A and B are shown apart, each in its own frame.
Chain A
Amino acid sequence: MSKENGVIYRISGPVVTAVGISPRMYEVVRVGDEGLMGEVIELHGDQSVIQVYEETSGIKPGEPVIRTGQTLSVQLGPGLLTQIYDGIQRPLPKLEETMGVFITRGVDADGLDLERKWDFNAVVKKGDEISSGHVIGKVQETETIEHRVMVPPNVSGKVKSIKSGSFNITETVCELDDGTEIAMMQEWPVRHPRPFVQKYAPDVPLITGQRILDFLFPLAKGGTAGIPGPFGSGKTVTQQQLAKWSDAQIVVYIGCGERGNEMTEVLDEFPHLIDPNTNKPLMNRTVMIANTSNMPVAAREASVYTGITIAEYFRDMGYNVALMADSTSRWAEAMREISSRLEEMPGEEGYPAYLSSRLAEFYERAGRVQTLAGSDGSVSVIGAVSPPGGDISEPVSQGTLRIVKVFWGLDAGLARQRHFPAINWLNSYSLYPQALDQWYRDNIAPDFPEVRTEISTLLQIESELQEIVQLVGSDALPVDQQLTLEVARMIREFFLQQNAFHDVDTFSDLDLQYHMAKAILSFQEEAKKAIAGGAQLEDVVNVPARTDLMRGRFEKGYEDRISDLVSEMNKQIDASMEAN
């Protein structure tokens, strides 16, 4: 690259215009005397427009702008897991070391520790033909996750030498016949999806342990979901529940323009939480990106790309990865702010016209794929959306709903009633059940899909009955409909409500969910019989064993006791008929 003398021409917030250089689009440049990191986002005559990832106050026109020749990239290799990064992959603990507790500027930090030695175990040998994406060796990165070191992009050939042993991530571990040297670390430009062979249709559920999600509105591994909801309705709690309990092997959690304390909470909690699938701390499988609301907006814009690139990288090793972005609305707002500084023609509500295509491109990076190495990996993406005033007719919600296959609609009314998770069961949906039903039949119960349909039908009927109740009161309904209302209430209070903060209730595995749903249907059936045999509805509803069954879910070992509790309930219901 030729030496060019770029200088700043204009500064307007996070957007700086430079003259005297002709960089490529999305090239990273160094801005000002302090060398702040920025990215070229528009070329305009002899002007290059740059979004700067750090605070720009105090910077003057005339200060230098230097090209780096690189596009915005992340470092990929052992050391990603358990790390917490800002939006441009600077490790926050590193920044604390160099800057103290406040984030100042002008400090660079590698995404990965370049010194640390890892035990590299080669899995190919001299003479093997290898190409991009193939696994050449393994590193035990954390207690639970084996890092599969892959051939970097655009590299292929015959192995000339490869060695196992202790290396840092930039040392050569493998050499090819043509002299190419391969180290454990590779880089990838964040705005480009990583390659794969082909996408498959997802057909395995991502099990989250959250009853309303798994049972009624399931997400598939490799699928996409949107969670819109007004403030305080439970987006973050839901995302954190997924990060904790979903059966993904790797979790990438992006705090995008949200609260600092929420990230602290994750950092405090995860090392102590035990992954039900591995019995090891959850932190072992987690990568966090935290670009909070008060950190620079340009880095917020970049944060989702940084996150999804890391997710794809683990996918390429053959893992099932789940990525949460909280909140995509803040990402969209960052785009809007930068776009308005560029004086672009605004689209709806001031968002740039390309908003919906950016959203689509982002969610398109999800999927279940055949990797270059021939294995099966997936990235599931779950995005929170924060619509102003809770009204989802706005552009970000609409743009998201057009793409995602699962809609978990949070409802202010339910949150106000403290019905948590406040997911509205009437307007939420999932387009995956059909693709997943075979899996449920094979792995949980042959009638799983039918049970689900019965449960959701009952909820539908309830909402219709409720309209009548509003007018005439429930006593005016025939007794069978009153029973339906009781059953639906049981679905809501016993099954759909789930307390994220309760040790036991926070997670239910799919088997238990199925048995709980069956218990409700069993109650319905027995109650019908008893009432037909002359029992009073009130007596049937109030049998003590039903309360025991419902309360039991807060106690450990519930899965072992539930069938006894159901039998006891049924016995008491039968008895209520005789008592009459």
Chain B
Amino acid sequence: MSGKEYRTITDVKGPLVFLNKTEPVSYGEIVQLMLSDGSIKNGQVLDTSDEQVIVQVFEGTASVDRQTGVKFLGDVFKLPVSKGLIGRILDGAGRPRDGGPDIVADEMADIIGAAINPYSRQSPESFIQTGISAIDACTSLVRGQKLPIFSASGLPHNDIALQIARQAKLVGSDDDFVVVFCAMGITAEEYNFFVHDLERTGALENSALFVNLADDPAVERLITPRLALTAAEYLAFEHDYHVLVIYTDMTNYCESLRQIGAAREEVPGRRGYPGYMYTDLAMLYERAGLVKGKKGSITQFPILTMPGDDITHPIPDLSGYITEGQIVISRELHQKGIYPPINVLPSLSRLMNAGIGDGKTREDHKSVSDQLYAAYAQGRELRGLVAIVGEDALNERDLQLLKFADIFEDQFLRQSRDEDRSISEGTLDLAWKLLSNIDTKYLVRLDQKWIDKYHPTERSSSEEE
């Protein structure tokens, strides 16, 4: 389209460039800035009128001056997509970063992504076994779910994400996952950690990476996850892949959003984040799911670090309002040396009920999970009491629960980074073994019929013969 170059920049403010009188420019259109040193920056139209156009510059506005040339490319941001994305590493704006050739496009896909018609969705209900007991038993993940990891700085969320990426599978199916990995503002060290691990396990060939690192342009982070999700949608809904999207760190994404808001002098919402952050995040998270008539699926694992370990901070808060549960990483468990330090009590999978039970995982799963939860919650509470009144004041039941909390952490939660436990023999049987440390009369959440069938010592004798 119009290859015309304008030199009408009037104002530059933070990541925004304001320019005067152009031919009509469309909302959302992609922009190129030609700097005097010959370098090129990219941007996108945020506001357009007959008099003024506001452009958000992805690479930041350093060195932009009034002489900078501005070209409007006549189209909204699109990503070239094809199956060739698998096995590739791209930068935060979708350009090859692995020294390989450009992606040969089968299609140019608009990165904003259209909303899935709610009527066209299919309910997620296929259990994904991650091999991590805490998740599989207590916050079961299903295909098509969006389940974020709420973590904080210094905690091993990356190891957990990678372990999930390595081990995730559908029980009784050999459909593999393709991993789409999206880095937003993480350090080179973290990034290398991811890449090495994916390489080590051979998963890299089955992954597409979109990478914006800490020293890459901050504003670019606003498009990186959209590129990743566009790739995921293409692979899932055009080529039937089951895609696991891991993106980290949502906190950096939200910081960039705040930066744009501030530059536009918008009225800020809570703690300076834009009032539309909920909607903006939903535009990412809601791109998970299954749709009628398509075989593929998109499952999302956004990782976010809670500023100040505060779950009520707007970033985890607004995320929790959109996602289908959360996995909460605990500093306390981490300091006790437990990996994975998942605190099952504030964690939740809202789609769990649809994915577990007879024919899916095991008939006793729900009861076992409720019982584990209740016993551990009570045991932890008793720890507080013991600190005040001492163990002597506890009755038999309380002593058993107290002890259970310890063994639950030590044997159920704790597992090694490459330990892949199967749901039935690995996780649920282990749960029964640990629960058998508590008298059955205190195990009120377990149906008698499951006790008869699965309890290691109370099993009906007919079964033991």
Q: Which residues of A contact B (CB under 8 A)?
A: 9-13, 17, 55-63, 84, 92-93, 95-96, 99-104, 230-232, 255, 257, 259-261, 263-265, 267-268, 290, 292-295, 297, 330, 333, 336-337, 340, 346, 349-350, 386, 388-391, 416-418, 473, 501
- Of chain B, the residue at the smallest CB distance from A7 is B50
Task: Sample 29 A-B pairs with CB under 8 A, ordered by A number.
Answer: A9-B50, A13-B27, A57-B76, A59-B26, A59-B27, A92-B117, A93-B119, A96-B117, A101-B117, A101-B292, A101-B293, A103-B114, A103-B115, A231-B317, A257-B278, A257-B282, A260-B286, A261-B121, A261-B123, A264-B123, A294-B283, A295-B115, A333-B275, A333-B276, A333-B279, A340-B266, A340-B275, A350-B268, A390-B312
- Smallest distance from the beta carbon of B145 to chain A beta carbons, Å? 8
Which 5 A-B residue pairs are closest in the complex by CB-CB distance?
Answer: A57-B28, A10-B49, A293-B282, A389-B312, A92-B119
Contact of A386 among B75, B144, B321 (CB under 8 A): B321
In chain B, positions 274-331 with a C-beta closer than 8 Å to chain A are 275-276, 278-279, 282-283, 286-287, 289, 291-294, 312-314, 317-318, 320-322, 324-326
Interface assignment of B373: CB less than 8 Å from any CB of chain A: yes
**Contact of A102 with B117 at beta-carbon distance under 8 Å, contacts A58-B26, A292-B286, A350-B269 already known:** yes
Is the CB–CB distance between B47 and A290 below 8 Å? no
- Roughly how many angstroms separate A578 CA and B147 CA in the complex, as a whole number? 57
Chain A proximity of B257: nearest CB distance (Å)? 14
Q: CB-nearest residue of chain B relative to A61?
A: B24
B124 at the interface (CB under 8 A from A): yes
Question: Are A349 and B270 interface neighbours, CB within 8 A?
Answer: yes
Which of under 10, 10 to 19, 20 to 34, or 35 or more describes the interface residues of B? Answer: 35 or more
Q: Is B48 an interface residue (CB 8 A)?
A: yes
- Given the complex, which residues of A lie within 8 Å of B282, measured CB to CB? 257, 292-294
A101-B47 in contact given A57-B28, A257-B279, A346-B267 (Cβ < 8 Å): no
Residues from chain B with Cβ under 8 Å of A265 in the complex: 123
List B residues at the A interface (Cβ < 8 Å): 24-29, 46-50, 75-76, 112-124, 144, 237, 266-270, 275-276, 278-279, 282-283, 286-287, 289, 291-294, 312-314, 317-318, 320-322, 324-326, 345-346, 348, 350-351, 353, 370, 373-374, 377, 389, 393
A267: B residues at CB distance < 8 A: 118-119
Contacts of A337 in B (CB 8 A): 275-276, 279
Chain A residue with minimal CB distance to B265?
Answer: A343
Tell me, in angstroms, the Cα distance from A11 to B48 when the chains sit together.
Answer: 5
* A261 touching B324 in the complex, CB below 8 Å, given contacts A101-B120, A294-B282: yes
Question: In the complex, A312→B293 CA distance in Å?
Answer: 37
Q: Chain A: which residue is nearest B270 at the CB level?
A: A388
* Chain A interface main SS type: mixed
Q: How far is it, in angstroms, between the C-alpha of A175 and the C-alpha of B119 when the chains are bound?
A: 39
Contacts of A102 in B (CB 8 A): 113-117
Report the nearest B residue to A102, measured CB to CB.
Answer: B114
**A292→B49 contact, CB < 8 A:** no
For residue B436, give the distance in angstroms from its CB to the closest CB of chain A. Answer: 22
A96 partner residues in chain B, CB cutoff 8 A: 117, 119-120
A290 B49 Cβ-Cβ under 8 A = no
* 9 further A-B pairs in the complex, CB-CB below 8 A; given A267-B118, A333-B275, A418-B377: A10-B48, A13-B27, A92-B119, A259-B324, A261-B324, A292-B118, A295-B115, A389-B270, A416-B345
> Are B119 and A60 in contact, with the CB atoms below 8 A?
no
Contact partner of B118 (CB less than 8 A), chosen from A10, A92, A346, A389, is A92
User: Which of B117, B279, B314 has the most CB atoms of chain A within a 10 A radius of its CB?
Assistant: B117
Contacts of A388 in B (CB 8 A): 270, 312, 314, 317-318
In the complex with contacts A56-B27, A261-B123, A61-B279 CB distance below 8 A: no
For A62, what are the chain B residues with a Cβ–Cβ distance below 8 Å? 24, 50
Enumerate chain B residues within 8 angstroms of A263, measured Cβ to Cβ. 118-119, 121
Cross-chain contact of B278 among A10, A84, A259, A330 (Cβ < 8 A): A330
> Nearest B residue to A547 by beta-carbon distance?
B444
A367 to B114, CA, bound (A): 38
Within 8 Å CB of A13, what residues of B? Answer: 27
Which has the most chain B C-beta neighbours within 10 Å: A294, A337, A390, A391?
Answer: A294
Contacting residue for B267 out of A259, A293, A350, CB 8 A: A350
Q: Once bound together, how far apart are the Cα atoms of A336 and B114, in whole Å?
A: 23
The complex places the Cα of A174 from the Cα of B437 at a distance, in Å, of: 77
A439, B283: Cα distance in complex, Å: 48
* A residues near B76, Cβ cutoff 8 Å: 57-58
